[in-house]
Amino acid sequence: MIGDSVPQGDNEAAAREVASGPVIHIRNLRKEYTSVAGVIPVLHGLNIEVMPSEFVAIMGASGSGKSTLMNILGCLDIATSGSYLLNGHDVAVLDRDTLAHLRNDLIGFVFQGFNLLPRASLLDNVALPLVYSKVSREEREARANEMLGKVGLAKYRDSQPNQISGGQQQRVAIARALVNRPQLLLADEPTGNLDSHTGNEIMNLFKELNERDGITIVLITHEVEVAAYAHRLVRLADGHIVYDGSSHEGAMSKNPTEYSAAVHSTS
């Protein structure tokens, strides 16, 4: 388990020390794939820090590398070179079990697809991650109820996913992502399957979770309107960071074609 090598009396101090630094710290991160056509570079020396309680949108056109970056941030893939520290832990040196514990303790995932179990109640869907954490049934139900309440769906706890709307299903998926009380929420195109009105409701929920509960959020999107909910925008083009700053200023500053042209003119 994470922290097993730290003496018991020092665990709390060590946790505070790590929490005071970046949740995400990547340096010169590169990713490439090898195919029959040769080496295909995807990410080119990225440098990003995300501090606790930040709300960051990563934006880019299809093929910009944003999904590859998200997979690396979520410890679902590994970089070819460079470093990635997750809450102070170098993920490259962790064995599979330790990495799984770290991911389970620190990260909640929200995807474009809701990925709910169709025959299970909403309560059981939300509680599912706690089963793998070997939490007692009584505590699982209590925490799942709490999270359903947080997303405004407590009264539907006994319903099944096909009995609620798409927007409500995404709220259930968000509650499931929060049930382990993660420090970091990673969301990959979370409004992609929703109409604009319902998408706005989901984004307002993310904003509330960030501002009220201090949850660090990193969100992947290709939509300017979605990126505008974040405080900070990181824009990718052809695997390069071409903007990192205010989401208000950056969302409309250049279109992807202009960014791509700028990247290639300087490379």
Return left, alpha or beta for 127; rule: phi > 0 is left, psi -120 to 50 is alpha, else beta: alpha
What's the whole-number average pLDDT of the chain? 87
Question: Confidence band (pLDDT; 50, 70, 90) for 14?
Answer: very low
Asked whether residue 124 is domain-assigned, the answer is no
> Does position 266 have pLDDT exceeding 60, yes or no?
no
CA atoms within 13 A on the CB side of 7: 2
- Whole-number percent of the chain with pLDDT over 70: 86
| pLDDT interval class at 19 (50, 70, 90) | low
pLDDT of 252: 59
Predicted confidence at residue 10, as pLDDT, reads: 40
- Provide the pairing of β-strand 240-246 with 38-50: unpaired
- At 253, is the pLDDT very low, low, confident or very high (cuts 50, 70, 90)? low
Q: Is the pLDDT of residue 126 over 50?
A: yes
* In-domain check, residue 165: no
**Confidence band for 173, pLDDT divided at 50, 70 and 90:** very high
* Domain total in the chain: 1
Residue 221 placed within a domain: yes
CATH of the domain at 190: 3.40.50.300
Q: Which two tokens stand for residue 129?
A: 């991650």
Q: How far apart are CA 89 and CA 80, in angstroms?
A: 18
* pLDDT for res 255: 54
Q: What is the pLDDT of residue 248?
A: 80
The pLDDT, as a whole number, for residue 132 is: 79
> Does residue 233 form part of some domain?
yes
Q: Quick check: is 55 in a domain?
A: yes
Q: Report pLDDT for 251.
A: 62
* For residue 7, pLDDT beyond 90: no
pLDDT exceeds cutoff 70 at 12: no
Residue 100 lies in a domain: yes
259 in a domain, yes or no? yes
User: pLDDT tens for residues 33-92?
Assistant: 998 889 999 999 999 999 999 999 999 988 899 999 999 999 999 999 999 999 999 999
Asked whether the predicted pLDDT for residue 188 surpasses 60, the reply is yes
- DSSP conformational letter for 76: S
Q: What is the pLDDT of residues 135-170, one digit of tens each?
A: 899 999 999 999 999 999 999 999 999 999 999 999
Owning domain of residue 46: 22-112+180-266
Indicate whether 235 pLDDT > 90.
yes
Average pLDDT rounded to a whole number, residues 167-194: 94
Residue 11 lies in a domain: no
Q: What's 108's DSSP letter?
A: E
Sequential DSSP letters for 229-264: TSSEEEEEETTEEEEEEEHHHHTTT--HHHHHHHHH
Residue 9 scores a pLDDT above 90: no
